[in-house]
Amino acid sequence: MDQKARKTIQKLILKLDNSSEKETFNCLVEIRKKVLKTKEGISYLLKNGGIPKILQILQKSDTDSKSVDVILSTLGNLCMDNDARNMVRRSSGIEIIAHVFAESKTESIQNRCSRTLANLALTKENIVTILKADVAETLGKLLESTKTKENILTYSRTVSRIPLSNK
């Protein structure tokens, strides 16, 4: 990764701290579009504290739904990477995502939460944390009530990756 790309990632991470809602949204979109394209970009984002900052924004109760949607899309993509999955777990991200999943009434956000949890479940340690976060009830309710094929597929994929009991 060249120096220019590193500086761009550093700038984006710094912008996440004290930007307006619109600037934060644009920054998140830029991270999703540019940084996640390469293993080096993901690695650099992880090493420079990108995931904890993204999770901090997600955790805020006043984060607008457009930003939440982009954050979950970004996290879902990031969580295809093993190091990112571990970082999300170590940053209490599973609990944050599970909370958003349980509280959101927006279908696209519920779907993205489910997708992200399914990707997180690719790591055994994460499955334990996901089970402790108690997403099974939310997942079951949504699977029963959804009418869209896309959501049924996403929720089914999540169910297939997470054993829904501790027995």
CB 117 within 8 A of CB 133: no
> pTM (2 decimals)?
0.92
Each residue's pLDDT tens digit, 11-27: 888 888 877 889 989 99
Average pLDDT on 35-44 reads: 90
Domain boundaries along the sequence of the chain: 3-161
CA–CA dist 161, 30 (Å, integer)? 30
Average pLDDT on 124-153 reads: 94
CATH of 3-161, one of 2.30.290.10, 1.25.10.10, 3.40.50.10490, 3.40.50.150: 1.25.10.10
Each residue's pLDDT tens digit, 149-162: 999 999 999 999 98
Q: Which residues have C-beta within 8 Å of that of residue 112, sequence separation ≥ 6?
A: 69, 72, 73, 76
Can you read off the two tokens belonging to residue 15?
């912008």
Q: Is 3 exposed, middle or buried (0-12, 13-18, 19+ CB in 10 A)?
A: exposed
